[in-house]
């Protein structure tokens, strides 16, 4: 049997071409897969959100150094303050006077108050102005009407050629307890001058009426 050489050459050439094409195709496919793999960007794992921070308010307590007030005795309790106004009528140095006063005070313990008053004595002659440190005690456990008693020292500014005078005295009366720290009262005051001439009466007795607030 005679083989055509052309057919043999074409068969061999075809086999060679196919043999070369298959590896090239495989290599191309491998390169494409590699490129596709490289083109894929690795996605990092999701980062969990940071926990919410809740601000807790800080409270700062400021405590006053002043001791606490119990108000056991109401408006006459330790630590309370008093402001009062007074009016009265009295005789002194041989003449009659209308007296008007203003006072402030502080309760150092329940019912026990200390303070100072300033008074003007008018209408009579000579006109006088008086300053008077005082101490009083109130029977605060009584009901609506509360008796009181007190002592004082008084310095009188007289003028008109008359020497200023010192005096001491006491007072008794009763408080009427009002609402919201208010009070009113009435009493009698006895005062004795210490340095008056013998010809002048040393003793003075007069009524007083007052209103006051305690806070």
Q: Would you state the pLDDT for residue 155?
A: 96
Structural domains present in the chain: 74-214 (2.40.160.20)
Residues present in the chain in total: 215
pLDDT value at 188 more than 90: yes
Compute CA distances 203 → 62, 66, 154, whole Å: 54, 43, 13
What residues does 188 pair with on adjacent strands? 172, 207
Is it the case that residue 5 has pLDDT exceeding 80? no
Question: Residues of the chain with pLDDT > 90: what percent?
Answer: 47
Q: Evaluate whether 191 touches 207 at the Cβ level (below 8 Å).
A: no
- Between 62 and 73, where is the model more confident? 73
Q: What is the mean pLDDT of residues 77-89?
A: 94
Pair of tokens at residue 24: 């090239």
Half-sphere exposure of 180 (CA within 13 A, CB side): 0
Confidence of residue 41 (pLDDT cuts 50, 70, 90): very low
The 10 Å Cβ neighbour count of residue 11 is: 11
Q: pLDDT tens-digit profile of 161-182?
A: 788 999 999 999 999 887 777 8
Most confident of 7-16, 28-37, 133-142, 154-163: 133-142
pLDDT digits (tens, 9 = 90+) for 84-136: 999 999 888 888 999 999 999 999 999 999 999 999 999 998 899 999 999 99
Other C-beta atoms lying within 10 Å of the C-beta of residue 131: 13
**Range list of H helices, 54-185:** none
Quick check: 70 pLDDT over 70? no
What distance in Å separates the CA atoms of residue 169 and residue 183, rounded to the nearest whole number?
A: 23
């Amino acid at each position: 049997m005679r083989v055509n050489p052309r057919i043999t050459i074409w068969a061999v050439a075809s086999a060679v071409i196919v043999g070369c094409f298959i590896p090239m195709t495989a290599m191309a496919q491998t390169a494409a897969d590699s490129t596709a793999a490289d083109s894929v960007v690795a996605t990092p794992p999701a980062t969990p959100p940071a926990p919410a921070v809740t601000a807790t308010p800080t409270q700062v307590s400021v405590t006053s150094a002043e001791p606490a007030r119990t108000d056991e005795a109401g408006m006459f309790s330790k630590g309370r303050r008093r402001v009062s106004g007074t009016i009265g009528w009295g005789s002194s140095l041989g003449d009659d006077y209308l007296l008007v006063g203003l006072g402030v005070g502080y309760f150092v313990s329940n019912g026990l108050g200390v303070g100072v008053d300033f008074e003007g004595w008018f209408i009579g002659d000579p006109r006088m102005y008086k300053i008077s440190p005082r101490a009083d005690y109130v029977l605060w456990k009584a009901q609506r009407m509360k008796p009181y008693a007190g002592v004082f020292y008084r310095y009188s500014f007289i003028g008109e050629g008359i020497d200023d005078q010192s005096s001491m005295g006491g007072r008794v009366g009763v408080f009427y307890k009002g609402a919201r720290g208010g009070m009113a009262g009435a009493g009698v005051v006895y005062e004795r001058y210490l340095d008056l001439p013998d010809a002048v009466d040393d003793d003075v007795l007069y009524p007083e009426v007052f209103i006051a607030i305690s806070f």
